[in-house]
Amino acid sequence: MSRILSGTKQHAFVTTCALLVVIVFLRLICQAQGGVPSLPEKSQETDSDRFDMLVRDDFFAGLMGDKARLERGMKTCERLLATNPKHAEALVWHGGGLIARASQTYRTADSATGEKLWSQGIDEMNRAVNFEPNNIGVRIGRAATLIGLAQSGWDPHDSQAHALLESAVTDYEQVYEWQKPRFSEMRIHSRGELLFGLASGWSILGNQRKATEYLNLIVDECDRTPYESEARRWLKKNPPFVVQHDCIGCHVSAN
Amino acid sequence: MIGKLLILTVLISSLFVSTEDGALAVARKARDRGDTEAMRKVISAGEARAAETSKFEDYIRLALLEDWMCEALEANNKQNLIKGTAESGVAAAEKAVRLNPKSSQAHQLLADLLGQLAPNVMGGGMKYGQRSTDEADKAIALDPKNPDAYITRGISYLYTPAAFGGNKAKALEFFSKAVQLDPQLDTARIWLALYHLDAEKFDEARREINEALRLNPDRVFAGFVSDQIKAGKKGT
């Protein structure tokens, strides 16, 4: 019953979205770096300079079940971090990889190791943002992961989780501020996912007013797209509601 | 003399079993009506007994009671207590699995309690979702005639994203299988109603929830789903 009441009143029970949120965040990093016309610190980079181009294929394959490729992606990050422990992008990708490893470990009922990997992953993402607070990819990476995690389960009495989610939503708002001048020129996926992340994050935190504001913004900014239709469906619901959103178009092939 | 003692022992055992079943029947009623105080008393007794005996039967009963308590708490909107209850239930179910790894019911309860825990912990889907599914699969493999195991697995199919193994057609198949195995099981009917509600097939949902309420008119869970169906139909 918990699941269905939660599903309608508070949370949907996303049973085995074990790796989905991590994939979503990795996609968003790529979308942000590839699709945003100007970034605070990365605007002069070419594709060949971009760190995510180096590791993302391995991470995507790994997160879809290819453990060898996940390990290869992790090793690439670890080599970089060995020479530069403050490499923010390597840290945020590595942190996501640790959360994926944690998820695999929980499955084996080894909760102690799972908790350890989980905490390390979150800690690495926190440190990545501290090292490069103006790196849009790093901030999206951390924020999208935390919002995704909160969507897959939430304890409103967990003050640490509350602080993490609040910081993630605040980061997303900062990203939106950065992107605002050319927001309408961005890919629809980047626009829709960012705004749905904000609507979802605020709704989980219990701020229905802000959640509704962002849903209305989706209607305006994502006109005549599946994002608009989904936002309208949520706006029809009686508050309080928790916006659950599965990334649209984040279909990762295992091949 | 030995014969008399044996008869006496059998009589006492029968009385004990009867009393235990009575306690379970009381707990089931408490679950149905959302009576958390009654549930708490039965659970306290169950905890003491399991701690005293360390027997499989006592841990499996305790896990079942904690699972029911989650439903009773939800009926009273005591969401904040579900996490702790589910955690206690998981611990009891894990103990039961350790004591009897071949028990389908133990694996099914572990799966269900992990499912209860997941939405109440940050990242709970990632932490407990796959394990819950694995445990439900084990429960079915150990006893292909366990209707509760099919319900638990069906719930997983219903709520899991398709890219990660979710399959609504399979959910329908598994809930239907549970009904086929035990036509008197109101829980299976409730989940069939929820499946149809999810698919916005309101007439089918109404039919199933009416059947669930016919089988067990007192169950708050069924009443809640019935209200959801009415609200959903109104919204179309």
Question: Do A14 and B161 make contact, defined as CB atoms within 8 angstroms?
Answer: yes
Query: In the structure, what pLDDT confidence band is assigned to residue A28 with cuts at 50, 70 and 90?
Result: low
What pLDDT is stored for residue A16 in this prediction? Answer: 36
What pLDDT is stored for residue B16 in this prediction? Answer: 42
**Chain B residues contacting A, CB < 8 Å?**
70-71, 74-75, 79-80, 82-83, 86, 94, 115-116, 118-134, 155-156, 159-161, 163-166, 194, 221, 224-225, 228, 235
pLDDT of A41 > 80? The answer is no
Are residue B125 and residue B215 in the same domain, yes or no? no
pLDDT in tens, B95-154: 999 999 999 999 999 999 999 999 999 999 889 999 999 999 999 999 999 999 999 999
Of the listed ranges A51-65, B105-119, B148-162, the least confidently predicted one is A51-65
Averaged pLDDT for residues B45-54: 97
What pLDDT is stored for residue A24 in this prediction? Answer: 55
Name the residue facing A155 among B83, B128, B132 (closest C-beta).
B83
Q: Is residue B46 part of a domain?
A: yes
What pLDDT is stored for residue A255 in this prediction? Answer: 30
pLDDT of A18 > 90? The answer is no
Helix (H), strand (E) at residue B69: helix B56-75
Q: Is residue B6 part of a domain?
A: no
Q: Is residue B125 part of a domain?
A: yes
| CATH of residue B162 | 1.25.40.10
Query: In the structure, what pLDDT confidence band is assigned to residue A57 with cuts at 50, 70 and 90?
Result: confident
pLDDT of A124 > 60? The answer is yes
Are residue B149 and residue B137 in the same domain, yes or no? no
Rounded to a whole number of angstroms, the distance from the CA of B216 to the nearest CA of chain A is: 15
If you measure CA to CA, which chain B residue comes closest to A115? B127
Which of B93, B115, B143 finishes a domain? B143
What does the block give as tokens for A186? 């961005």
What pLDDT is stored for residue A33 in this prediction? Answer: 53
Record the pTM.
Answer: 0.85
Q: Is residue B228 part of a domain?
A: yes
What does the block give as tokens for A143? 């924020």
- Give the CATH fold of the A2-236 domain: 1.25.40
Q: What is the mean pLDDT of chain A?
A: 82
Question: Do A158 and B122 make contact, defined as CB atoms within 8 angstroms?
Answer: yes
Q: Is residue B66 part of a domain?
A: yes
Query: In the structure, what pLDDT confidence band is assigned to residue B13 with cuts at 50, 70 and 90?
Result: very low
Q: Contact at 8 Å (CB) between A245 and A212?
A: no
Query: In the structure, what pLDDT confidence band is assigned to residue A31 with cuts at 50, 70 and 90?
Result: low
Are residue B156 and residue B177 in the same domain, yes or no? yes
Averaged pLDDT for residues B6-21: 47
Q: Which of B56, B65, B128, B142 is nearest to B99 (CA)?
A: B56
Question: Do A20 and B75 make contact, defined as CB atoms within 8 angstroms?
Answer: no
Residue A238 is given by DSSP the state P
Are residue B30 and residue B94 in the same domain, yes or no? yes
Rounded to a whole number of angstroms, the distance from the CA of B131 to the nearest CA of chain A is: 5
Q: Which of A253, A233, A243 is nearest to A201 (CA)?
A: A243
What pLDDT is stored for residue B199 in this prediction? Answer: 93
Question: Do A103 and B156 make contact, defined as CB atoms within 8 angstroms?
Answer: no
If you measure CA to CA, which chain A residue comes closest to B113? A2
Are residue B225 and residue B131 in the same domain, yes or no? no
pLDDT in tens, A194-223: 999 999 999 999 999 999 999 999 999 999
What pLDDT is stored for residue B22 in this prediction? Answer: 82
Q: How far apart (Å, rounded) are the C-alpha atoms in residues B200 and B206?
A: 11
Q: Is residue B7 part of a domain?
A: no
What does the block give as tokens for B177? 């299988």
For residue B74, the chain A residues in CB contact (below 8 A) are 1-2, 5-6
What is the SS3 assignment for A57-98? HHHHHHHCCCHHHHHHHHHHHHHHHHHCCCCHHHHHHHHHHH
Question: Do A7 and B159 make contact, defined as CB atoms within 8 angstroms?
Answer: yes
Q: Which of A132, A101, A164 is nearest to A29 (CA)?
A: A132
Mutation choice for A interface testing from B28, B122, B164, B174 by most A CBs within 10 A: B122
Rounded to a whole number of angstroms, the distance from the CA of B111 to the nearest CA of chain A is: 11
Mutation choice for B interface testing from A15, A155, A238, A255 by most B CBs within 10 A: A15
Query: In the structure, what pLDDT confidence band is assigned to residue A8 with cuts at 50, 70 and 90?
Result: very low
Helix (H), strand (E) at residue B198: helix B186-198
Question: Do B119 and A153 make contact, defined as CB atoms within 8 angstroms?
Answer: yes
Longest dimension (CA), chain A: 53
Which of B143, B176, B206 finishes a domain? B143
What pLDDT is stored for residue A60 in this prediction? Answer: 76
Q: What is the mean pLDDT of chain B?
A: 90
Which of B143, B158, B174 finishes a domain? B143
ipTM of the complex: 0.82
Q: Is residue B5 part of a domain?
A: no
Question: Based on the structure, what is the number of domains in chain B?
Answer: 2
Averaged pLDDT for residues A17-27: 52
| Per-range mean pLDDT, top range of A13-22, B153-162, B179-188 | B179-188
Of the listed ranges A115-119, A248-252, B9-13, the least confidently predicted one is B9-13
Query: In the structure, what pLDDT confidence band is assigned to residue A20 with cuts at 50, 70 and 90?
Result: low
Phi, psi torsion values for B198, nearest 5 degrees: -60, -35
Rounded to a whole number of angstroms, the distance from the CA of A58 to the nearest CA of chain B is: 19
pLDDT in tens, B192-210: 999 999 999 999 999 999 9
Longest dimension (CA), chain B: 74
Residue A7 is given by DSSP the state I
What residues make up the domain containing B76? 26-143
pLDDT top residue among A31 and A17: A31
Q: Which of B183, B182, B210, B184 is nearest to B196 (CA)?
A: B210
Are residue B128 and residue B154 in the same domain, yes or no? no
What pLDDT is stored for residue A238 in this prediction? Answer: 82
What pLDDT is stored for residue A44 in this prediction? Answer: 42
